[in-house]
Structure 1
């Protein structure tokens, strides 16, 4: 049996998890609040300890080797178990049931709130902690066992190593504007006219940003001169109403505004942007009892979401 190398430190494992999730030394350094040189040094030290190459640098980003992926699974489990152990120290009596979820904009407006309401009706003492962020950030926290599950669009395959994704429903992006917007006067959206208005997009680095940009280019609309990047629905909604901006985001984030008549979708077929929405976990066997209860509620609500998304995304009268 191989003896654990005494040179191994917690920072080595943190570095490995961050690099695997962000696929970039710069992004991993930012997530860890370290310098890129410190992250590169930690990786080099870990590779020396392992006696294996753990990651390869390419023009498009960092790629984990088979050895890196193997070590990653155990590193994430070890760090999560260690964190759970410290949380239990001095806890005394059993803590109240608690589920920690990561939410992306696509699930924050409708799916998750309804699931919380459903599960709390049956289990009023269940504590639910909801954390927002980008896909990459939330997956890092999931692998570190800071979260029980993440709800939203499926991420890049390279970020899904060591986790399990359960498909719930398909969802497209939508281009929403305020009631009375000039672009609603025509039955079809003129690409040149669309480009004249401010466009609110998800942040660069999110998985849906490339999907939005690809659609804009392939549809002939192109990129407007004025672009605002944000993950805040509050900010996007304010710009839509106050600056006549076009809010380009997952349909689930915009749906409540559409149903209340506070927004309308442009007459543009955005169905090519459809992607799977679901829940990401470390595996069914890793779920706590409280997390299982919440997953059951999510599955129940997902049936309604599937029916909803069969409706047309074209402009409503």
Structure 2
């Protein structure tokens, strides 16, 4: 990742609820061909007679039907805690409908997680200002957001992206859920992240190589590994804002698109993050070598007498 580069950061995960993108991820998890008809059904709409009719007609024609559950769309599904395993909820649970006559028959399920970016600071002030604007002037609210005052309100007491925290918070659950996706009834597991988040992950994964496949997807590989044998069906779906698709004249972006589809597995991620990256950090001239010099600088500011100024002759030192 080039730190000087500018990227689009996405904060609200609901912003990525794009039907086309989610459909592409679902096809990859379940192995549906691109040309096969897929009905992607939000769970709450099952109460609608029209949705039920669509499903019945689709099943009669042997078309694929996936029902999905999400926090605001039917509620999250997941696993309960036990004495030997933690509780986990899945951002998205996709499940195949095989039949509804004479009764419900379900097929495989898929797990899809969605991770955006956290920022340093608190959203409290921004939410308070924006909520007040919506309450006081609802008819001009969107114009306010596009104004200088509105943009300032959205960033009130907010700082830059919390890059390391997002990876540390995500890595454990990503590896754990990729392992859960190995269950015989699970079609596969996926993590969906913006391109900017993927770029920020690179250093945590020892700047991994991506090996391009014939179908346009990629495989995450360790250095020197030319033909990895991956376990299970685990994917990282990297998306970006589709700047070619604007709504109206204000330039608002209303859709996202896949940037890279990357196959991996839990063992590869563990090796990259917990073996390869630390090993490189420990190499001669690596970042671990700078710890004592940084400590010397800080001690010098607190106790100048014992740390001679740069350029002056020094006596023996433990550092």
Common fold by TM > 0.5: no
Judging by fraction of residues, say which structure has more helix: 1
- Report the structure number with the largest CA radius of gyration: 2
TM-score computed with the length of structure 2 as normaliser:
0.24
Q: Compare relative contact order (CA 8 Å, sep 6+) and give the higher one, 1 or 2.
A: 1
TM-score computed with the length of structure 1 as normaliser:
0.24
Judging by fraction of residues, say which structure has more strand: 2
